[in-house]
Amino acid sequence: MIFFSKNYLLQSSITRRIAVVFLFIIITVGSSQNSFAQRKLPVFKTGERLTYKVKFGFIKLGTLVIETGAPQGGNQIKTRLKFWSAEVPFLDTKDVVDDVIDTAAVCLMRFEEHGYDGEKKLNRTFFFDPAQKTISYSDATVKNRIISDVRPFSDALTLFFNLREWNGSNARYFFPLRGHDGEKLVNCNFTRNEKEQECPAFDDKEIQTYIVDGRAEMGDSAPLGASGKFTAYITKDPAAIPIRIDMKIAIGSISLILDKAERAGWQP
């Protein structure tokens, strides 16, 4: 969901509340460009398709797919995020986000979202003009609202690629976030700490990864006592593919676990 949106109302179902935490952390946030980065990996590759199981313990909440599409001229490229819920009580969500990302600046140029969350329909778009430093934003109730004085920023897809691009840099970077309640930060510690991580996408083969520790400022209203802490395990190679991402909540964690991986010429 775009960073202008409000948090969804929490319902009594524990499964529903867990899903809200996942959607808040992975889909809602938007980060600004990291101006302190010193190195990047060439992680954008047309035709890549990564499929993740979204799980709370042994409970599958849904499926997340991230795809890299065709170049759009200059440094821009299409990307797509798709999420749909599993057959669990009180959870009926489908979301498709299409982005155009500037791969040099690692910032978002165009955003389009379509889907639903229960009975609530999701239809949003925005365009970023870096020269004018403005966003033109539209949804079901707003048409071409102009937001001024905006520095380069990202949505969840660009944040996902930032985690990959700075993998193994052995540095600490931060990503300011814009939300409905003001600016927040995601702090990331890109270590060279290594771990052999099992990957279902490759018959549970153990794959060497770097560990990235991070924390997003969630605020006092975060559902289920979510601290915003997360740990990502990303392959120790130029493709830098996240094998697993764990997001901490008060009663455990929500995990993204790589289930399928398609990338031309890549083997872990």
Domain count, the chain: 1
The answer to whether residue 8 sits within a structural domain is: no
pLDDT averaged over every residue in the chain: 81
The CATH number of residue 173's host domain is: 2.40.360
Domain of 202 in residue numbering reads as: 14-262
109: in domain: yes
- Which region among 14-18, 27-31, 226-230 has the lowest average model confidence (pLDDT)? 27-31
Whole-number percent of the chain with pLDDT over 70: 79
Name which residue leads in pLDDT, 233 or 108. Answer: 233
Q: Span 125-144, mean pLDDT?
A: 91
Query: Does residue 63 lie within any of the structural domains?
Result: yes
Q: Position 212: which residue type?
A: V
Determine the residue type at 118. Answer: G
On the question of pLDDT at 96 being above 80, the answer is yes
- Which residue, among 223, 210, 211, 218, has the nearest Cα to 186 in the 3D structure? 218
Tokens of 21: 């935490």
Residue 5 lies in a domain: no
For residue 143, give the DSSP letter.
S
Asked whether residue 3 is domain-assigned, the answer is no
Say if 4 falls within a structural domain: no
Length of the chain: 268
Contact 45/68 with Cβ under 8 angstroms?
A: yes
Phi, psi of 105 (to 5 degrees): -85, -10
Does any domain span residue 6?
no
Burial class (CB in 10 A: 0-12, 13-18, 19+), 51: middle
Between 36 and 76, residue with greater pLDDT: 76
For residue 45, give the nearest of 66, 15, 63 by alpha carbon: 66
What are residue 152's phi and psi, to 5 degrees? -55, 140
Q: Is a pLDDT exceeding 60 seen at residue 27?
A: no
Work out the burial of residue 210: count CB atoms within 10 Å of its CB; fewer than 13 is exposed, 13-18 middle, 19 or more buried. Answer: buried
Task: Please return the burial class of 160, using the count of CB atoms within 10 Å of its CB with bins 0-12, 13-18 and 19+.
Answer: buried
pLDDT of 252: 80
Q: Is residue 181 pLDDT above 80, yes or no?
A: no
Q: Which residue has the tokens 């899903």?
A: 19
> Does the structure show a pLDDT above 60 at 178?
no
CB of 112 closer than 8 Å to CB of 97: yes
Q: What pLDDT, on the 0 to 100 scale, is given for residue 216?
A: 78
The answer to the question of residue 2 being in a domain is no
